[in-house]
Amino acid sequence: MDFFNQSKIFSLINKYQSFVLIFFLLILLLGLTEALFLSPQDYLQGDSVRIMYVHVPSAWISLGIFSLMALLSILVFVFKNKNLIIISKSLAPSGFVFTLIALVTGSIWGKPTWGTWWAWDARITSMLILAFFYFMYLLAWRVFENKDNVVKITSLICIIGAINIPLIKFSVDWWSTLHQPSSIKILSESTIHESMLIPLILMTAAFALFSLLIFLMKYNTELIKIKIKGLDRL
């Protein structure tokens, strides 16, 4: 697997990390301007709608990262590819942080809109379970010290946790929940006005770039750790 040659990736990351940082800051600035100043108030929620521009992208990214980690974990578990596990490990922290951001901003939005900080409905509870899976994954890396065991256990946590992903996605369609169903649909027209869609997309791009940046830094650190330990792989 020449593609995963670590010294090559190492120098590549160092080269492009600053580009990603600049690109992220640019998009974030643009997204925040759109979200906080240029986009209109909502006809019902007023200015609370602006919380959505952080809440929804965070939720998307956290689901996306976990799905990716699950996919990598399947490959790791089946083919014993230890380079992929480092990618999965490096993705986890930003995924966990975005899950927490989605939960907290949702709570802050819920109080003025619904009239409650928290509701044990299917969407919110399944999102909390996702946060626990991320937490469990990160803890497992510290708890299990035997290298073969830690690779197996963390992959299995991801694969089992992936069952929760469709539950989160479809919870609002399958059960009656306090949380509203998705406004953005793939098959039919979205129920969100264009002027609000622009900041949403920009913020999603900004958060994705931020995750990429944190991932690159974390991945770099993992590679350095491996080098110092004098191992050619994990």
Cβ nearer to another protein, comparing 194 with 229? 194
Q: Answer yes or no whether residue 224 interacts with another protein by CB under 8 A.
A: no
3 state SS of 172: helix
Is the CB of residue 21 less than 8 Å from the CB of residue 29? no
Q: Does 1 bind another protein (CB under 8 A)?
A: no
User: Should residue 36 be labelled a site residue for another protein when binding is judged by CB under 8 A?
Assistant: no
Contact 99, 130 (CB under 8 A): yes
Can you tell me which of 156, 173, 221, 224 binds another protein, judged by CB under 8 A?
156
Opening angle at CA 212, ends 211 and 218, nearest 5: 85
Polymer length of the chain: 234
Helix axes 122-143, 147-161, angle to 10 degrees: 170
Q: Binder to another protein among 6, 67, 107, 183 (CB under 8 A)? A: 183
- Mark the segment that binds another protein (CB under 8 A) among 22-30, 36-44, 81-89, 210-218: 36-44
- Judged by CB under 8 A, does residue 201 bind another protein? no
User: What pairs with residue 46 in β-bridges?
Assistant: 42
Residue numbers at the binding site for another protein (CB under 8 A):
40-45, 49, 52, 74, 77-79, 112-116, 119-122, 156, 159-160, 162-163, 167, 175-178, 180-183, 191-193, 195-196
